[in-house]
Amino acid sequence: MFGVLIRIDSVTKRYPDGTVAVDNLSLEIPDRSITVFVGPSGCGKTTTLRMINRMIEPSEGTITLDGKDITQQPVNTLRRSMGYVIQNAGLFQHRTIVDNIATVPRLLGWSKDKARARARELMERVGLDGALAKRYPYQLSGGQQQRVGVARALAADPPVLLMDEPFSAVDPVVRKGLQDELLRIQEELGKTIVFVTHDIDEAVKIGTMVAVMRTGGHLAQFAPPAELLSNPADAFVEDFLGADRGIRRLSFFSSAGLDLLTTPIVAVDATAEQIAERSAKGAPYLLVTDVDGKPLGWSEPDALTAGAIDPARLLAHGRPFEHGKDSLRAALDCAVLSPTGWAVAVGADGRVAGVVSQQTIGEAIRTAHAEGRSGAADADDAEVVG
Amino acid sequence: MSGGFFDIPSDLQNTYWGLVGLHLREALIPVVGGLVVALPIAQLCVRLRWLYPPVLWVTTILYAIPSLAFFVVLIDYTGQTETTVMIPLGVYSLVVFVPAIVDGVRSVPQETLDAATAMGLGPVRRYFQVQLPIAAPAIIAGLRVATVSSISLVSVGMLIGNQGGLGNLLNDGMIYHQPRLVWLSVVGTAVLAILADALLVLLRVLVTPWMPRGTRKPRPVDEPEPMQAALEDAAR
């Protein structure tokens, strides 16, 4: 599926005081994908990242980039070919946003105008308002600063992006936005991203491959997130993944395969015959939609009187899931939160596509797990759905 | 108030405004020289942490040597000249500059330095493009103290034969029993100090548009009040 861009070969980092930060680590970081190093503090994940751009030199072992030993080129040339994003962004507080982003292009000898034009282009790409170009970092929020950090790392269009806990210092809502943005940018640009985090949810969400590391600089497991969740290598990985890994794994299964029921649905202007016909199918509840087909709420069939359906008296339908786009996890969540135990599926236009019971979702999960076991490393598995 | 108010005795062989110019030259050249010498010393102290305490110790000892003692030694080499007055002033400024620059450079956040390194800025570029600009407010704070203190200290040059700029008027005021000359000296020196300080504040505002408004003082606790320091110096 991918080529290998960075190969870490038997790398050990030992400090003069005897501390071993990374212990005989070997792994291959695939091209044009996001590889996440995750683990508790002191597991050597940041040390590993910093050995890739030689901010830390390994005690033993070699690292190759595109087949070439990274020590074979001048260190600053190597670093300028790798974007670097850091916690709290690490922006140059004395430079405007546009000049921060233009740093590496300027180092590479671009003219000021060309570098600034490129910087403005990148601001747009990372979702920053162009009006911020002349501002200084202190005038931006934490999330905006982090976007500038990403834009600065991308400025010279490096093939590799190193990200050291880039989203750890922002609040959860902003973090989710930044993660989604990173995935979107990655879809457009296809960089080789090495990402360090201590947050396993973040790792599972954004990683194409996840390297779980444990204290002492040992690699515990290196696998795609779906495989990590289904087959943790040992008790440490299982524990690190947390108690609800079964539920979280559902994120990797699409809701497209769910069989939706379209019978227990009536429009708000339904005739008495339509109501009677739909109730005759034996459904305990009917979903009432507006005239456009958007969900209004649930009701017992007996409580509905043709021509006099009061939307205010219906049971809330909860948040619907988008059929085919959202994952089984989202579908199950909708069913669990629904007062009737039935989840509402909608299409991209927000109109009801059908309804599905917890029981049906449960069967789909069992089927998906069975398939997942037979082909755990399936390429489709690696895509996060919703 | 005719021109007569600013007339000064002929033994000084200068006009009032000539003395003002002399005073400024004798005060500012040592400050600039001190800054130029302090920059590399401070950078060494930042890179070699163990060096900082002994360097501070030496600058403090030098500051404690009275200027008269300096004159006695220097006159053998540089004579009764402006240079003899300016050398001790330059040496005194180190006690302000070295800690100001060291603290300023150290105040650059580690992640900013890491980001600079990771983007491929070598040590020299990192110093001139990142550390020094971010240290600028602290350095200018030191510059204010050093400048004001130097302006007040120049007067002591009077002791080696009218090399004290406006300070020379103090001696003449006593000899000729003319309080007017003393006022011209004292008020003139104070006005120069205030104007120089105001210009440096303006300079800081101009070079640091990147600092949040209202927090232009980087470390209010560490920053001595320039005028107060000058008054203390004047007592020397």
Q: What is the pLDDT of residues A235-268, one digit of tens each?
A: 999 998 887 888 888 888 888 888 888 888 888 8
User: For residue A270, what is the domain's CATH number?
Assistant: 3.10.580.10
- Relative to beta strand A60-65, strand A68-69 is antiparallel
- The whole-number pLDDT of residue B52 equals 95
Mean pLDDT value across chain A:
88
Q: Which residues of B touch A103 (CB under 8 A)?
A: 119
Test B209 with A136 for CB contact under 8 angstroms.
Answer: yes
- The whole-number pLDDT of residue B227 equals 53
- Relative to beta strand A321-322, strand A20-30 is unpaired
Instruction: Write out pLDDT tens, residues B73-82.
Output: 998 998 888 8
Same-domain check for residues A246 and A270: no
In chain A, at which residue ranges do the beta strands (DSSP E only) sit? 4-14, 20-30, 34-38, 60-65, 68-69, 82-86, 160-164, 192-197, 209-214, 218-223, 265-267, 286-289, 295-299, 321-322, 342-346, 352-357
Same-domain check for residues A199 and A77: yes
Closest CA to A101 of A67, A79, A78, A124: A124
Instruction: Write out pLDDT tens, residues A11-39.
Output: 999 999 989 999 999 999 999 999 999 99
Test A55 with B121 for CB contact under 8 angstroms.
Answer: no
**Residue of A78, A94, A162 with shortest CB distance to B134:** A94
**Residue of A75, A86, A138 with shortest CB distance to B114:** A86
Same-domain check for residues A244 and A330: no
Count up the domains in chain A and report the number. Answer: 2
- The whole-number pLDDT of residue A1 equals 46
Q: For residue A319, what pLDDT band results from cuts at 50, 70 and 90?
A: confident
Q: Which residues of B touch A138 (CB under 8 A)?
A: 210-212
If you measure CA to CA, which chain A residue comes closest to B133?
A: A94
Same-domain check for residues A185 and A287: no
- The whole-number pLDDT of residue A271 equals 83
By the CB < 8 Å criterion, does B206 face chain A? Answer: no
Kindly state the average pLDDT of the residues B217-223: 43
By the CB < 8 Å criterion, does B120 face chain A? Answer: yes
**Residue of A78, A90, A96 with shortest CB distance to B111:** A90
Instruction: Write out pLDDT tens, residues A323-347.
Output: 888 888 889 988 888 888 889 999 9
Separation CA A45–CA A197 (nearest Å) = 8
Q: Which residues of A touch B111 (CB under 8 A)?
A: 86-90
- The whole-number pLDDT of residue A370 equals 77
Given a cut of 50, whether residue A216 has pLDDT beyond it is yes
| SS3 of residue B137 by DSSP | helix
**Residue of B109, B116, B210 with shortest CB distance to A136:** B210
Kindly state the average pLDDT of the residues B58-67: 93
Same-domain check for residues A239 and A281: no
Test A93 with B134 for CB contact under 8 angstroms.
Answer: yes
If you measure CA to CA, which chain B residue comes closest to A152?
A: B119
Same-domain check for residues A104 and A214: yes
By the CB < 8 Å criterion, does A95 face chain B? Answer: yes
Q: For residue A291, what pLDDT band results from cuts at 50, 70 and 90?
A: confident
Q: Which residues of A touch B126 (CB under 8 A)?
A: none
Same-domain check for residues A116 and A18: yes
Test B208 with A138 for CB contact under 8 angstroms.
Answer: no
- The whole-number pLDDT of residue B221 equals 40
Q: For residue B13, what pLDDT band results from cuts at 50, 70 and 90?
A: confident
Separation CA A310–CA B13 (nearest Å) = 105
Chain A: give the shortest CA distance to residue B49, in Å.
19
By the CB < 8 Å criterion, does B122 face chain A? Answer: yes
Residue A374 lies in a domain: no
Chain B: give the shortest CA distance to residue A157, in Å.
13
Test A80 with B114 for CB contact under 8 angstroms.
Answer: no
Same-domain check for residues A264 and A242: no
Separation CA A152–CA A95 (nearest Å) = 12
- The whole-number pLDDT of residue B232 equals 54
Same-domain check for residues A84 and A108: yes
For domain B15-234, the CATH architecture is Orthogonal Bundle (1.10)
Instruction: Write out pLDDT tens, residues A261-281.
Output: 888 888 888 888 888 888 777
- The whole-number pLDDT of residue A12 equals 95
Domain boundary assignment for chain B: 15-234
Residue A371 lies in a domain: no
**Residue A292: domain span:** 256-366
**Residue of A95, A107, A149 with shortest CB distance to B121:** A107
Given a cut of 90, whether residue B125 has pLDDT beyond it is yes
Please indicate, yes or no, whether the overall pTM of this predicted structure exceeds 0.80: no
Kindly state the average pLDDT of the residues B129-155: 94
Which of A224, A252, A280 represents a domain boundary (last residue)?
A252
Given a cut of 90, whether residue B87 has pLDDT beyond it is yes
User: For residue A173, what is the domain's CATH number?
Assistant: 3.40.50.300
What are A288's strand-pairing partners? Answer: A266, A297
Same-domain check for residues A235 and A297: no
**Residue of B115, B125, B133 with shortest CB distance to A84:** B115
Same-domain check for residues A96 and A220: yes
Same-domain check for residues A248 and A260: no
- The whole-number pLDDT of residue A264 equals 87
